[in-house]
Amino acid sequence: MAQRPAWTIKDDLIKCEYFEFQWNGGFALIQKQKNINNLHKAIYNKYGEKSLEVSTKSDLQLGKEASAFNLKCNGYFVENIFQSSKVYSEGGPFTDLLNKSPKEAKKDERHLKYGALKEFFYNDVHWELTPRTAFYDYLYINALLQSTSMEFLECYQWFTDIEFNPKRSINCQARSIAIAKYLFENNKMDKLNNVKAWVQFHREHVKD
């Protein structure tokens, strides 16, 4: 058995809940999709609500297209912008990472050589490290807005990313898309227009 998180909107908040399901080992795509199906069944069995897998492993094209490795914001992949915006105590940002592949940008050795992460710097704006996922969520949702209509989010109540491991990572595209659904359904997309307003919204409504 395994536990994985899923995100939804409840009580005017974006919330995370963990679900237990039967895990299938292995790295093959079919094994990962079995795990996705089992996770979604666990969610449905408890709440009777639909889930969308948001990753390149999704069996739905919508889920694949919404992966941060496929979404672009202002012409660059979300993952590249995020990695290239990191400022460490001894260096950065490394803007050349914008022109790498997303995987290369994420695994660049400089992330391990330049001290502790201090902030993010993007479009002449300094982003603090708290709230922890505010910057990543901001990038992701802006990219989603540039690539697709938001109406499809109305069909789903839960969002998952089978590749996300909370023991190794903080940011998750499933969380980000749940936030996007909240903004869309509550006519609050304007929160993205101002960094201070966005950070305040994030503190008030995003609860992991």
Length of the chain measured in residues: 208
**Cβ–Cβ under 8 Å, residues 157 and 187:** no
Report, as an integer, the average pLDDT of 27-43: 95
**Percent of the chain residues topping a pLDDT of 90:** 93
The amino acid at residue 108 is D
Query: What digits encode the pLDDT tens for the residues 145-184?
Result: 999 889 999 999 999 999 998 889 999 999 999 999 999 9
φ/ψ of residue 77, rounded to 5? -65, 145
Is the pLDDT reported for residue 208 higher than 80? no
How far from 160 is each of 7, 50, 170, 174, 198, CA to CA, in Å?
7, 11, 14, 5, 23
Query: Which one, of 3, 4, 10, lies nearest residue 157 by Cα?
Result: 10
Number of helical H runs and strand E runs in the chain: 7, 10
Is residue 143 within 8 Å of residue 161, measured between CB atoms? no
pLDDT-derived band of residue 92, with 50, 70 and 90 as boundaries? very high
Q: Are strands 125-127 and 117-122 parallel, antiparallel or unpaired?
A: antiparallel
Confidence class of residue 27 from pLDDT cuts 50, 70 and 90?
confident
Q: What is the pLDDT of residues 39-78, one digit of tens each?
A: 999 999 999 999 999 999 999 999 999 998 899 999 999 9
Q: What is the pLDDT of residue 131?
A: 97
Classify the C-alpha dihedral 137-142-148-151 as positive or negative.
Answer: positive
